[in-house]
Chain A
Amino acid sequence: METIRRGSRGPLVARWQEFLGNQNLQNHPGAADGIFGAKTAAATREFQQRHGLVADGVVGPMTWAQAQALGFGGGGVMIIEANFEATAPNGTAYLSWAPRKLTLRLIDAQGRNPATVRLSSLRAIPLQFAVARTADGQPTLDIDLPQDSSPAEVWISGVFGEASTEDGDSGYRINDLASGVELASQPAMVRIRKNANRLADGERDRFLQAMADLNASGTGRFRDFRDMHVDAARIEAHFDVGFLPWHRSYLLDLERELQEIDPSVALPYWRFDEPAPQVFSTDFMGLPNSVGRVIFEPGHPFESWVTDGQLGLVRPMGFPPDARPPVIISEADTLALEPEAGETKYRGFAEMEGNPHGIAHTRFSLGSFIRAIGTAARDPLFFMLHANVDRLWAKWQWLERLRNPDDAQAFGTSDDNRVGHRLDDTMWPWNQIVTPPRPISAPGGTLAPSPLTPRPGLSPMVRDMIDYQGITAGDPLGFDYDDVPIE
């Protein structure tokens, strides 16, 4: 059996703590939480002392032997170790449609040969399981763990169409197939970017609170996001082929900051080619008064929204709040955009920067923050608008099967060979370059890292934003959309 000591963690530690708890020791090990801390160490030393062993607090072969002589592990239950790569510091796993790896190791077979375990969903929101990295997992999976304790891999993902609405409403369990005893479990959330018009009240409120906390009445980190999208830097992010990757990176950076505040939050999208009466209401994105000032319900987190040293939002609407905004082309028409002769497919699609993207910005009347590039990021609706732009790109990538940045059709060529718009260019501001031709400042620092995935790195290149599901890149970027599957 594996040696454990202070600092060790895992199911074996939990079993050891349970065992010590039944030994009538003066030093109780505390809760069987699987964390070998000071209390467990003290209880271990007392146990060792009592049985004439070296009282060093380390559970090695001699101590295991004594424990087994007293009945430790006599229940015939396997001991395994499970490490899931998509685990956040709070212990919950955050998944999307992209499969993530769970590594299993057999610690003590307890005579089981084969040591077969079954993986299944723990709660109402289902997961799917596979032995290879595939989008076609199964609701349950039986797997034989190697007797020599070498690692076995299982791939886990959310089930397309079945997203979580709150933290921990999903999860997986691992059972000993022979006895049915649960060996391990972990709560999870299938955290997905959703249509803002269909959010549950709790999802909406958590998103609003996280945004308000990030803004902190103008003193919070939101200021950097506002400062990244200004007139002086417009060519970094617009009017060329880098428009879509830049904004994908921008949204990812913001979303990760929100998840630092509340890990259950995913950025919702405003589906601007459909009516969205839930979005344009006083308990969500607000409604304008007679002069276009956005009004919220009393107590709404955005009542204290401050940007550019000014309180409040201005967004007179150019359409009724329960109607589809006029002139914006539909999703089907957007996905149908085609290139001109000699252009790549991506280049044709990227014309969506004009319509629907630009048209969506200008469906709000003159004076709206969101109507001009230089002021649009003052309005939190801007991020939901761009989440829909990104969703359309993601859907186009899925439909056209163009997720590999090395596929020429998956990207395009900058007309002016402009820096920041070529595949292997890093992107401002995350590259922190402030020498010409880049802008003279780079707010916000590097891109926010994630505890769930190493991609895209602190200073991503344009190419890093193309394969967001990790189909060829291996690791995903950590988000998915409710209506864009993985294949």
Chain B
Amino acid sequence: MDIKDYRKKHEDDVAQARASRSAHGAPEEFLGRREADADTRAKMLCKMRMTSRNLGELIPLFLDILGNKSEAVTVRSAALDMLSASEFAGKAFADYRPQVIDAVRALASDKSPTLRKNALEYLAQQRDDYARDILTAAVTAPEEAPVDQAKAIQLLSLDDHTNAADLVRGRFEDLSETAKEEAAYILGTDPTSADKLSEVMVDKTVRERLRRIAAAGLKALDLQRFAERAGVVLVDRGDSARLKAALVSMAQTARPRQNAVVTSALDSAVETARSRTRSKTLKSAAARYFAAQRDKA
């Protein structure tokens, strides 16, 4: 590769970029196009040139739009999007944070379901009390909730002031399939849930993905029990090759910490699974498992 030509190409590209830059992206342009359709206005908002120098001008504009109930939902969503982005653009955002939180809380009771959901997601990430209460209700009374049960469980897990594990543990069997998966992610690091995860991991009536999540959680909680249960699955001729491959890969990643607990029984189970299967995925996983064992020996 000729570096001089390479440089020239880049210099030309940059010169062209500089030459084509216009006032496009300035707030005045957006404000001057009130007659444009909602999608166009939303796109203009998102293309606003945001720098640390103009945050003091932009953030109030975004807040105005967010709070304007007569503005289209897509434009107000775009304003929330830009407020999230402005958090990265400069320290000035910190001065506006309380106003942003207030504006988004107001959005949590908006008539638009999209905006209510967006607001809850934003507030959950900020570990906001108000969102916590609404999301908790969504888990216990999902019919009336602004977000579905699975999403509510997921958002609650972002907030370490919520004991999401307590909330889902007792009602696990009553949850929807997707909500069960979200619950399993939470229970996966709850020390009192090892028994439940152990049970789900080997239950062939349970969806495979849920079993994998349970296995990953059990691995994080109780390595020895994970190894024992994985051994049970691996030698079961009637169980899924995909699941077995996943368990073997999990066992491989745990190997550095497993010296005391990886028994020859697990190695034997992996070898049994490998020798019995035609699945290339499982054979590859087993090969990597044993190769990792040799590398670390």
Complex interface bits, A3-35 against B, C-beta within 8 A gives 1, otherwise 0: 000000000000000000000000000000000
B186 touches A353 (CB 8 A): no
B125 touches A291 (CB 8 A): no
A239 touches B90 (CB 8 A): yes
Which residues from chain B contact A361 at a C-beta distance below 8 Å?
A: 85, 88
B178 touches A309 (CB 8 A): no
Report how far A312 CA is from B212 CA in the complex, Å: 12
Complex interface bits, B81-98 against A, C-beta within 8 A gives 1, otherwise 0: 100111111110000000
Cβ-neighbour of B52 out of A161, A306, A354, A399 (below 8 A): A354
Report how far A471 CA is from B68 CA in the complex, Å: 54
Question: With an 8 A cutoff between CB atoms, is B185 at the interface?
Answer: yes
Cβ-neighbour of B125 out of A218, A326, A351, A367 (below 8 A): A367
Which residues from chain A contact B208 at a C-beta distance below 8 Å?
A: 298
| CB contact under 8 A between A354 and B243, given known A293-B154, A362-B84 | no
Cβ-neighbour of A399 out of B10, B51, B125, B148 (below 8 A): B10
Cβ-neighbour of A239 out of B52, B84, B188, B213 (below 8 A): B52
B154 touches A303 (CB 8 A): no
Stretch at the interface among B29-37, B137-145, B216-224, B228-236: B216-224
Which residues from chain A contact B276 at a C-beta distance below 8 Å?
A: none
Which residues from chain B contact A235 at a C-beta distance below 8 Å?
A: 91
Question: With an 8 A cutoff between CB atoms, is A357 at the interface?
Answer: yes
A291 touches B86 (CB 8 A): no
Scan residues 201-246 of chain A and give those whose CB is less than 8 A from a CB of chain B.
209, 212-213, 216-219, 235, 238-240
Report how far A209 CA is from B256 CA in the complex, Å: 13
Stretch at the interface among B12-20, B167-175, B198-206, B267-275: B12-20
Question: With an 8 A cutoff between CB atoms, is B74 at the interface?
Answer: no
Question: With an 8 A cutoff between CB atoms, is A289 at the interface?
Answer: yes
Which residues from chain B contact A308 at a C-beta distance below 8 Å?
A: 160
Question: With an 8 A cutoff between CB atoms, is A375 at the interface?
Answer: yes
B220 touches A238 (CB 8 A): no
Report how far A318 CA is from B118 CA in the complex, Å: 12
B182 touches A291 (CB 8 A): yes
| CB contact under 8 A between A335 and B10, given known A299-B281, A330-B17, A355-B50 | yes
Which residues from chain A contact B148 at a C-beta distance below 8 Å?
A: 291
| CB contact under 8 A between A299 and B245, given known A336-B17, A367-B121 | yes
Report how far A331 CA is from B249 CA in the complex, Å: 38
Question: With an 8 A cutoff between CB atoms, is A372 at the interface?
Answer: yes
Question: With an 8 A cutoff between CB atoms, is A39 at the interface?
Answer: no
Closest to A361 in B: B88
A359 touches B154 (CB 8 A): no
| CB contact under 8 A between A327 and B46, given known A239-B52, A366-B84 | yes
Which residues from chain A contact B194 at a C-beta distance below 8 Å?
A: none
Question: With an 8 A cutoff between CB atoms, is A403 at the interface?
Answer: no
Question: With an 8 A cutoff between CB atoms, is A406 at the interface?
Answer: no
Question: With an 8 A cutoff between CB atoms, is A1 at the interface?
Answer: no
A161 to chain B, nearest CB (A): 4
B179 to chain A, nearest CB (A): 9
B121 touches A218 (CB 8 A): no
Cβ-neighbour of B121 out of A303, A310, A365 (below 8 A): A365
Question: With an 8 A cutoff between CB atoms, is A292 at the interface?
Answer: yes
B84 touches A371 (CB 8 A): yes
Scan residues 88-116 of chain B and give those whose CB is less than 8 A from a CB of chain A.
88-91
A354 touches B88 (CB 8 A): yes
Report how far A355 CA is from B84 CA in the complex, Å: 12
Question: With an 8 A cutoff between CB atoms, is A274 at the interface?
Answer: no
Closest to A365 in B: B121
Question: With an 8 A cutoff between CB atoms, is A358 at the interface?
Answer: yes
A310 touches B185 (CB 8 A): yes
Question: With an 8 A cutoff between CB atoms, is B278 at the interface?
Answer: no
| CB contact under 8 A between A335 and B17, given known A298-B212, A304-B219, A326-B46 | yes
Question: With an 8 A cutoff between CB atoms, is B75 at the interface?
Answer: no
A298 touches B243 (CB 8 A): yes
B1 touches A358 (CB 8 A): no
B253 touches A213 (CB 8 A): yes
Which residues from chain B contact A372 at a C-beta distance below 8 Å?
A: 84, 87, 125-126
Question: With an 8 A cutoff between CB atoms, is A300 at the interface?
Answer: yes
Report how far A311 CA is from B217 CA in the complex, Å: 7
Which residues from chain B contact A303 at a C-beta distance below 8 Å?
A: 212, 216, 246, 249-250
| CB contact under 8 A between A327 and B158, given known A160-B3, A298-B242 | no
Question: With an 8 A cutoff between CB atoms, is A182 at the interface?
Answer: no
Question: With an 8 A cutoff between CB atoms, is A340 at the interface?
Answer: yes
B206 to chain A, nearest CB (A): 15
Question: With an 8 A cutoff between CB atoms, is A152 at the interface?
Answer: no
Scan residues 244-282 of chain B and give those whose CB is less than 8 A from a CB of chain A.
245-246, 248-250, 253-254, 256-257, 281
Cβ-neighbour of A218 out of B14, B53, B189, B242 (below 8 A): B189
Which residues from chain B contact A286 at a C-beta distance below 8 Å?
A: none
Closest to B1 in A: A161
Question: With an 8 A cutoff between CB atoms, is A322 at the interface?
Answer: no
Closest to A371 in B: B84
| CB contact under 8 A between A355 and B49, given known A299-B248, A371-B84 | yes
Which residues from chain B contact A399 at a C-beta distance below 8 Å?
A: 7, 10-11, 14
Report how far A28 CA is from B49 CA in the complex, Å: 75
Complex interface bits, A279-293 against B, C-beta within 8 A gives 1, otherwise 0: 000000000011111
| CB contact under 8 A between A366 and B121, given known A216-B256, A291-B151, A310-B157 | yes
27 pairs of residues in contact across A and B, judged by CB atoms under 8 Å: A218-B189, A238-B91, A239-B52, A292-B154, A293-B154, A295-B209, A299-B242, A303-B212, A303-B250, A304-B216, A304-B219, A311-B189, A311-B213, A312-B188, A332-B17, A353-B89, A354-B50, A354-B51, A354-B88, A355-B49, A358-B50, A366-B118, A366-B125, A367-B124, A372-B84, A372-B125, A487-B3
The 10 closest A-B pairs by CB, nearest first: A358-B88, A354-B89, A366-B121, A311-B188, A336-B17, A299-B249, A239-B91, A298-B246, A332-B17, A332-B13
Q: 19 new A-B pairs (CB below 8 Å) besides A298-B208, A367-B154?
A: A217-B254, A239-B91, A292-B154, A298-B242, A299-B248, A299-B285, A300-B249, A306-B189, A311-B186, A327-B47, A332-B16, A351-B51, A354-B88, A359-B85, A366-B125, A367-B158, A371-B84, A373-B87, A399-B11
**Which residues in A have some Cβ–Cβ distance to B below 8 Å?**
135, 160-161, 209, 212-213, 216-219, 235, 238-240, 289-293, 295, 298-301, 303-304, 306, 308-312, 314, 318, 326-327, 330-333, 335-336, 338, 340, 351, 353-355, 357-359, 361-362, 365-367, 371-373, 375, 395, 399, 485, 487
